[in-house]
Every structure is written in C-alpha cells, then in structure tokens.
Amino acid sequence: MDQKKYKQKLLEEIYTQYKNCQRCPLAQAERNNIVFGDGNPDADLMLIGEGPGRNEDLQGKPFVGRAGKLLDELLESANLKRGDIFIGNIVKCRPPNNRLPLPNEIAECLPLLEKQIKIIRPKVICTLGSCSTRTLLGNDKKITQSRGKLFKWNNIVTIPTFHPAYILRNPKKMPDLFEDLRLAAQNIKNK
C-alpha cells in the first residue's frame, strides 16, 4: 500500500471513532454533519480554520461557501492546488450562529485535529484566523501581530494568516492573505 492510501486508511479509522461524537455540546447544537476535513491525506500543506459554518455543516465539507471560493482563488494564484492540500478546522461541528468555539469545545475536539496532523505530517500548517492560531500556538496574540511570521507546532512550520471570511469583510487585507499563502508555498519548496 502506498503512503497516501495508508494515511487515508488511518484517517478513516479515526473518523469511524468520531462519526457519532458526543464529546462536547456542539453535538447537540445545530449539527447536521460532522465536518472532519477534506483533501489530500499526504498533503504538504494543511490549512486550519476555526469551525464549520452553515454551508459547511450542510455539505459536510470545509470551506465550501463564499470564503471557500475566495480561498480557492488565492490558493491558485499562489500556485497551490486545493487538491494537494488538506483543509480542516479546530472544531468539527458547527458553533451556533457562527460564534467562536468555546474553550471546553476546543479542548474536547483538539485531540482529533492533533491526530489528523500527526497522520498527514504536512511540511507547513497555515492557521486561518485568531482562534486556530491561538489554539495551536498557545498564545493570545492578535492575528495582526502573528500573521506572516514563522512559528513551529511540534516541529512543523506554522504560518498564521487571516481567515478568508475576514477578508470578505475587509478586502483591503487580501494582499496579506495572498502573501502568507505564497510564504507557505515557498516554505514547502525549501523543505
């Protein structure tokens, strides 16, 4: 079995463990589908947002709404193909009214993301927005202070950047997100 298929098998095994997950209150909130994440199980780059929105919850896939479309366009411009990337979230079930995940929800769900990262073993992680950045890096910095800089999560290069939903509300920041994705692409090449 090649490496990609082996990693896919490992991911499917943990999805089976979590497919009826009731570990936190988000299971009982507005969940239609658990959004485990999507993409290449052998990806060089993982993008990590905060949690599924309405469209993601309905379709069971991450970043499928307007923010996802913008992200696809920026990835392509940065010579990164979505098919070569794995995209996930800090919490896998939709927080009601698109609020930020609460600390107890993050604490319950984070082990699943950590298992995904350890299986995929990307060269670079991009955290999208302050929630995923603060969660993975364990700090309370504003995203404007962290973005575009290189950090490490368990020895993996980690680059915080803006969440594409924020860019839809603040299009002037789009060049920053694009620049950070190019930085990610450059760091993949350097590995």
Query: CA-to-CA distance for 155 and 162, rounded, in angstroms?
Result: 22
Of the candidate residues 47, 91, 120, 124, the single one contacting ligand SF4 (CB under 6 A): 91
DSSP three-state, residue 134: helix
103: which 2 tokens?
């600390």
Q: With CB under 6 A as the rule, give the number of residues binding ligand SF4.
A: 13
**Token pair 């915080």 in the structure block, residue:** 160
Using the minimum distance from each CB to ligand SF4, give the nearer residue, 92 or 163: 92
Q: Strands of 85-89's sheet, edge to edge?
A: 38-39, 85-89, 45-49, 124-128, 156-161, 151-153
- Applying CB under 6 A, which of residues 109, 117, 128, 143 lies at the interface with ligand SF4? 109
Residue 21 binds ligand SF4, judged by CB under 6 A? yes
The one-letter amino acid at 128: L
Task: Provide, rounded to whole angstroms, the least separation between the CB of residue 19 and ligand SF4.
Answer: 9
Phi then psi dihedrals of residue 124, to 5 deg: -140, 140
Nearest partner of 113 among 23, 1, 4, 184, judged by Cα: 23
Select 17 or 145, whichever has its Cβ closest to ligand SF4: 17
7, 61, 92, 163: which one contacts ligand SF4 (CB under 6 A)? 92
Give the nearer residue to ligand SF4 in terms of CB position, either 85 or 93: 93
Confirm or reject binding of residue 27 to ligand SF4 (CB under 6 A). Answer: yes
106 lies in the site for ligand SF4, by CB under 6 A = no
Among 8, 10, 18, 72, binds ligand SF4 (CB under 6 A): 18
What's the first-to-final CA gap in the chain, in angstroms?
A: 25
Query: Is the Cβ–Cβ distance between 148 and 183 less than 8 Å?
Result: yes
Stretch of residues binding ligand SF4 (CB under 6 A), selected from 19-27, 120-128, 141-149, 178-186: 19-27
Q: How far is the CB of 29 from ligand SF4 (least distance, A)?
A: 9
Q: Which is nearer to ligand SF4, 96 or 175 (CB)?
A: 96
* Element at 46 (helix H, strand E): strand 45-49
- Binding region for ligand SF4 (CB under 6 A): 18, 21, 23-24, 26-27, 34, 91-93, 105, 108-109
